[in-house]
Amino acid sequence: MRNTEAIQRDVQVLSEGRPELVSRETLVRLKVYADLLTRWQSRINLIGQSTADDIWTRHFCDSAQVLRHAPAARIWLDMGSGAGFPGLVIATLLADDPSSKTILVEANGKKSAFLREVARTLDLNTLVLTRRLETLNFEDVGLIDGVTSRALAPLTALFTYAVPWLSRGATGIFLKGQSVEDEVTDANRDWKFSANREKSLCDPTGTVLTITELKRRDGATDDGR
């Protein structure tokens, strides 16, 4: 089992776009993941074609930085996992820690099949749920440390999906684009929360948004989704 310091070193260099410096074990796993993604991409649309030639920076490095903002988190919920970003990258970086687990939620059956194939091939501790997020509840998942998503939905919708865990102490780490401030303003109408913003290490227009202390405001309803 690798210690936290070794894991965070991999996280840091990968986040900085220097995958050649990660540990041999992590690099081998990520290369297998990239190869599977390229092969499956020819059959189903997993990622935008314009990013297919830049998997390491656009997808792997971007996803890895989530762990920089919650380094102690070991049980993760990835909402709308798609091709596994950031959830499968998190699971890969934590692969040698037996206390870790990543729950991947994806409504599309073909994408879920891809997630299971990568997890099986890399021997990752994951649970893939082929479910729509609005049907997911606390009993399906249980207590977790961190909730994440990437390019999924506005913050108001993410809060509606994630409140069962964020209201119980989990940290939300959301990869956001240029509209982040508008989304935070909109979310403030129905929610109380603490938000920390840090510039993405991989995307000059991106922000890593850390959310804690989430509560619904009195009188707010779910129809802001």
pLDDT at 133 over 60: yes
Name the strands in the sheet holding 126-129, side by side, starting at the edge strand that comes first in the sequence.
126-129, 101-105, 75-79, 146-150, 171-176, 207-216, 191-199
Give the domain extent around 149.
Answer: 4-224
Average pLDDT, the chain: 92
46-60 residue pLDDT tens: 887 766 667 888 899
109 touches 130 (CB < 8 A) = yes
pLDDT at 198 over 90: yes
Classify 34 in phi/psi space as left (phi over 0), alpha (psi -120 to 50) or beta.
alpha
- The average pLDDT across 60-71 equals 93
208 touches 200 (CB < 8 A) = yes
- Please count the other Cβ atoms lying within 10 Å of the Cβ belonging to residue 80: 22
**Total number of domains constituting the chain:** 1
How high is the pLDDT of residue 57? 81
pLDDT at 213 over 70: yes
How high is the pLDDT of residue 163? 96
Partners of 203 in beta bridges = none
98-109 residue pLDDT tens: 999 999 999 999
Main-chain phi, psi angles of 154, to 5 degrees: -60, 160
> Which of 19-23, 50-54, 82-86 is least confident?
50-54
How high is the pLDDT of residue 1? 59
For 14, the token pair is 């990968």
pLDDT at 156 over 70: yes
How high is the pLDDT of residue 77? 98
**What residue spans of the chain are helical by DSSP H?**
4-15, 24-41, 55, 62-64, 87-93, 109-122, 138-141, 155-166, 180-187
- The average pLDDT across 1-14 equals 83
Cα gap 40→223, rounded to integer Å: 36
Q: Three-state DSSP class for 38?
A: helix
How high is the pLDDT of residue 35? 94
- The average pLDDT across 139-168 equals 95
C-alpha dist (Å) from residue 44 to 18, 73, 86: 29, 32, 19
Cα gap 68→178, rounded to integer Å: 21
Classify 3 in phi/psi space as left (phi over 0), alpha (psi -120 to 50) or beta.
beta
pLDDT at 223 over 60: no
pLDDT at 224 over 80: no
- The average pLDDT across 119-136 equals 96
73-83 residue pLDDT tens: 999 999 999 99
How high is the pLDDT of residue 19? 86
Percentage of the chain surpassing pLDDT 90?
Answer: 76
- Domain containing 158 — which CATH number? 3.40.50.150
C-alpha dist (Å) from residue 168 to 104, 122, 130, 156, 176: 19, 31, 24, 18, 23
Partners of 149 in beta bridges = 174
